[in-house]
Amino acid sequence: MSFLWAVFKGIFSVTFVQKAITQGIPLLFGATGEIVTEKSGNLNLGTPGIMYMGAIGGLAGAFLYETGTEAPNGLIGILCAILGSLLFSLAGALIYSVLTVTLRANQNVTGLALTTFGVGLGNFLGGSFSKITGTAGQITVYTTGQTFRTRIPFLSDHLGIVGDLLFSYGFLTYLAIVIALLASWFLTRTRIGLNLRAVGENAAAADAASINVTRYKYLATCIGGMISGLGGLYFVMEYLGGTWQNNGFGDRGWLAVALVIFALWKPARAIWGSILFGGLYILFAYVPLSQSMQEIFKMLPYVVTILVLVISSLRNKKENQPPAGLGLPYFREER
Amino acid sequence: MSENAIELKGICKYFGKVTANDNISLTVKKGEILSLLGENGSGKTTLMNMLSGIYFPDKGQILVDGEEVTIRSPKDAYRLGIGMIHQHFKLIDIFTAAENIILGQEGQSQIINLKAVTADIEKLIHRYGFQLDLNKKIYDMSVSEKQTVEIVKMLYRGANLLILDEPTAVLTPQETEHLFGVLRNMKQDGKAIIIITHKLHEVLSISDRVSILRKGAYIGTVETKDATEQSLTEMMVGEKVSLNIDRPTPHNTRKCLEVKHLTCINKYGVKAVDNVSFTALGGEILGIAGIAGSGQKELLEAIAGLQEGDGSILFTDPATGEEEELLGKDPLEIKKMGVSLAFVPEDRLGMGLVGDMGMPGNMMIRSYRNGKSALLEQRGPRQLSEKVKEELEVVTPSISYPVRRLSGGNVQKVLVGREISNSPKLLMTAYAVRGLDINTSYAIYHLLNEQKEKGVAVVYVGEDLDVLLELSDRILVLCGGRVSGILDARTATKEAIGLLMTKHGEEN
């Protein structure tokens, strides 16, 4: 009983919820981006790599700005960081698109290679920045990092527990939720969204309906990649406060891919899914068990994903299945 | 303004070594229905795909409304008012009819207003007399509903030239009649229509003119009123063909299969076969007629061991005379006893063949268990492939060419050829000639007759009542999973069968 009580007390605390959300936001960015990408039929397993690229791109942008001026301004730092992040993740997504859409390379192989590349690039550049500033492991872009961490003024301080729960985060947290909601609306309510889903379901049918399959695949993959990349940016800026840790992002990229499945390819579902995953991800720290037992708890998000997969395939509802054309290349004159 | 909706001049198209279209020219006038006739692999679909922007011609000109145009993509085709209804529907399964219809369309607003769109489409539906529920999902639809969605989609996009690739291959006679009614309404409205079909009586009843292709080349165009089934066949095949199906008198018949009170529940929990009893004799062809989905598939599958059921299915081995119960045995055991099932599904590649393999590989799917060596036996399947290629005239550059790249009819020849080669004691075929041209269909009827003369019990599930009446010895009519009658094919009439197809038998 005392064991359960300890877990219970840990979970129903403000800090646990805050930490779950903090852990969940990178996953939400990653999953939203991956959902947009997968809706075009591209299974981008390079997302973990792209998130590393988005992270290091943001750091590089802020780093170049802060080392170039005497008194860095936080807002300009934010702009530089976002720009850098978007550019880097766009580059990653472009590599993937050119290889799989134009050259029709195998999507799985390309994605896995891109992940290896992105992680390597991040660690290489991140390590270099620390070397240049001479402070390995310490904050490299302090001003920008702090500005990213700015909480919502007034609301976070004056509403007691509600303020702590809802308003104590940096702006990227809210951006993640807004993007997920927008993506959900875009996919279900707009013509472009309908067309995009058609491309992912059955590219030949979309093509016959005069939808430019190649353009949709490119745009969805690139925009999706940039959204995913913001997850990396969130991690280095808000979570780590503007520094780099080699492999610090860990397996969160794969967790984002798992979250896509958990959310059944619906961005709105990914919002609460990401908080749940975030909570499961840190649950081990709230369980009074030996370290080896805690390791088992770390696989909870994956176990939940597998359960969701089993249940959703048992129910066999067609709308809850992955896009039918996921992973398949499209070539019009193939017969 | 020209009176010709579309004109093709000297069109050529090559796929690697294969010449699909060689110097083809034809015209379609406004307010006219043109039939495009040709055997399998004669290049009809390829030619039409160049109009719809799926392929690009290697040579030649296309004129729309008297002006030369370039069609590089389906988008270009839509812009020019050309809409094609493919043999395999190009629809998104998880979307509703309305969503499929507005797909790829530019509307006034980016945000979809389903209500307004639905109202718009409803108008179109009433104008031409379609029957369609716009909020139904495609995966819940029957083949004919899906086809309606495709046609409405094209009209909604403002198509003036409609191309239909074998639209009646999967329709019941009633559905076909309804479709033709709609097509005539469109013709009245000034639309030009090209229809590809193998059924000559349909060609004669619906079209104004007929253009004929043979082996990728253009043969000629005739007015339908001057044409007969015989003359069209000769133009298509290039030689005189007898349009009568042989029916050798059965001799030495003996009981081969006895089905007693068979009831099957299908995977949707519906009683698909309901208290069915009949016998099939060795040395005769038993035809099975019925509207699509009346339990034909489940009945055959129950006999082949692929479907569970209640009742009794007794199989008599003609060599030993022993009776054995088939229900409860697994498919492999039943197969070994000499029961063979050739079911031609709507999706020929999906269920029957492996698209990326050549003919020998596909033959091996049935024979890989044979032989004692650890290595695959290659020679048999190769010989069989050569034989099927020769006898059924499969058009392919070589037997090792991937079957996915063959035309639809040729794919089916490979499938049927393989099943018949098993030398079974009970041969069941379903829709064996679906979508096949006349020459190949006759080759298959001939093969079935050969089996019959060898003493094999042949069960033939067919769609074309004329063929059923000419080929079978007896005809069993299914309606809603029940036997509504068993008739002697030599004396039965088409009307009698048609009536039984829609009315439950009284004796049950």
The predicted model gives A163-170 an average pLDDT of 86
How is residue A251 written in tokens?
């397996």
- Of all residues in chain B, the one with the smallest CA distance to A332 is B54
- Chain A residues within 8 A of B405 when measuring between CB atoms: 335
Q: How far is B499 from chain A (nearest CA, A)?
A: 38
- Structural domain includes residue A334: no
Q: What CATH number corresponds to the domain at position A285?
A: 1.10.3470
Of B52, B92, B105, the CB nearest to A201: B92
- Structural domain includes residue A325: no
Q: Which of A191, A212, A266, A328 to mutate to test the interface with B (most CBs of B within 10 A)?
A: A191
- Structural domain includes residue A178: yes
Q: How far is B110 from chain A (nearest CA, A)?
A: 5
Condensed to tens digits (0 to 9), the pLDDT of residues A173-216 reads 999 999 999 999 999 999 999 999 999 999 989 988 889 999 99
Residue type, A266: K
Report the C-alpha gap between A104 and A98 in whole angstroms. 8
pLDDT of the residue at B364: 82
Residue B99 to residue A319, Cβ atoms within 8 A: no
Report the C-alpha gap between B80 and B64 in whole angstroms. 7
Which residues is B490 bridged to in the sheet? none
**pLDDT above 50: residue A335:** no
pLDDT of the residue at B351: 61
| Residue A195 at interface with chain B, using a CB cutoff of 8 Å | yes
- Structural domain includes residue A19: yes
CA distances from B334 to B264, B325, B357 (A): 18, 10, 27
pLDDT of the residue at A138: 65
Phi, psi for A244 (deg, rounded to 5):
-120, 140
Of A192, A205, A210, the CB nearest to B91: A205
pLDDT of the residue at A236: 92
Of A190, A194, A210, the CB nearest to B99: A194
SS (H, E, C) chain A: CHHHHHHHHHHCCHHHHHHHHHHHHHHHHHHHHHHHHHCCCCCCCCHHHHHHHHHHHHHHHHHHHHHHCCCCCHHHHHHHHHHHHHHHHHHHHHHHHHHHHHCCCCHHHHHHHHHHHHHHHHHHHHHHHHHHHCCCCCCCCHHHHHHHCCCCCCHHHHCCHHHHHHCCCCHHHHHHHHHHHHHHHHHHHEHHHHHHHHHHHCHHHHHHCCCCHHHHHHHHHHHHHHHHHHHHHHHHHHHCCCCCCCCCCCCHHHHHHHHHHHCCCCHHHHHHHHHHHHHHHHHHHHCCCCHHHHHHHCCHHHHHHHHHHHHHHHHCCHHHCCCCCCCCCCCCCCC
Strands of B152-216, DSSP E: 161-165, 192-196, 209-214
Q: B25: exposed, middle or buried (C-beta count within 10 Å: 0-12, 13-18, 19+)?
A: middle
User: Average pLDDT by consecutive 10-residue portion of chain B (508 residues)?
Assistant: 85 85 91 88 86 89 91 87 87 93 84 89 90 91 88 90 86 82 92 88 91 89 89 81 77 84 81 88 89 81 84 81 81 76 60 79 76 74 86 82 79 79 80 76 84 86 84 89 88 82 55
Residues of chain B contacting A, Cβ within 8 Å: 15, 52, 54-55, 73-75, 77-78, 84, 86, 89-95, 99, 102-107, 110-112, 137, 139, 153, 404-405
pLDDT of the residue at A267: 96
pLDDT of the residue at B463: 78
pLDDT of the residue at B341: 66
- Mean pLDDT score of chain A: 89
List the domain range (segments joined by +) for residue A6: 2-320
Condensed to tens digits (0 to 9), the pLDDT of residues B235-257 reads 887 777 666 777 888 877 888 88
What number of CA atoms fall less than 13 Å from residue B460's CA on the CB side? 33
- Chain B residues within 8 A of A325 when measuring between CB atoms: none
Full set of structural domains in chain B with CATH: 4-237 (3.40.50.300), 244-338+424-508 (3.40.50.300), 354-420 (no CATH)
The predicted model gives A39-43 an average pLDDT of 95
Of B75, B84, B110, the CB nearest to A190: B110
Residue B105 to residue A191, Cβ atoms within 8 A: yes
Q: How far is B62 from chain A (nearest CA, A)?
A: 19
Close Cβ partners of A121 (under 8 Å, ≥ 6 residues apart):
A49, A52, A53, A56
Residue B74 to residue A191, Cβ atoms within 8 A: no
Residue A208 to residue B52, Cβ atoms within 8 A: yes
- Structural domain includes residue A243: yes
What number of other Cβ atoms are within 10 A of residue B215's Cβ?
15
pLDDT of the residue at B505: 45
How is residue A310 written in tokens?
């089993």
Of B15, B90, B106, the CB nearest to A205: B90
Condensed to tens digits (0 to 9), the pLDDT of residues B80-116 reads 999 988 877 889 999 999 999 999 887 778 888 888 8
- Chain B residues within 8 A of A204 when measuring between CB atoms: 90
**pLDDT above 70: residue A334:** no
Close Cβ partners of B144 (under 8 Å, ≥ 6 residues apart):
B170, B171, B172, B175, B178, B179
Report the C-alpha gap between B392 and B390 in whole angstroms. 6
Which residues is B163 bridged to in the sheet? B84, B194
- Chain B residues within 8 A of A194 when measuring between CB atoms: 95, 99, 102-103, 112
Q: Indicate the SS3 state at residue B467.
A: helix
What number of other Cβ atoms are within 10 A of residue A285's Cβ?
12
- Structural domain includes residue A328: no
Complex ipTM? 0.86
Size of interface A-B (CB pairs under 8 A): 82
Condensed to tens digits (0 to 9), the pLDDT of residues A272-322 reads 999 999 998 888 888 777 777 778 888 888 888 888 778 877 767 778 888
The predicted model gives A161-167 an average pLDDT of 85
Q: How far is A217 from chain B (nearest CA, A)?
A: 15
Residue A127 pLDDT level (bands cut at 50, 70, 90): confident
The total number of structural domains in chain A stands at 1
Q: How far is A189 from chain B (nearest CA, A)?
A: 6
pLDDT of the residue at B504: 53
- Chain A residues within 8 A of B98 when measuring between CB atoms: none
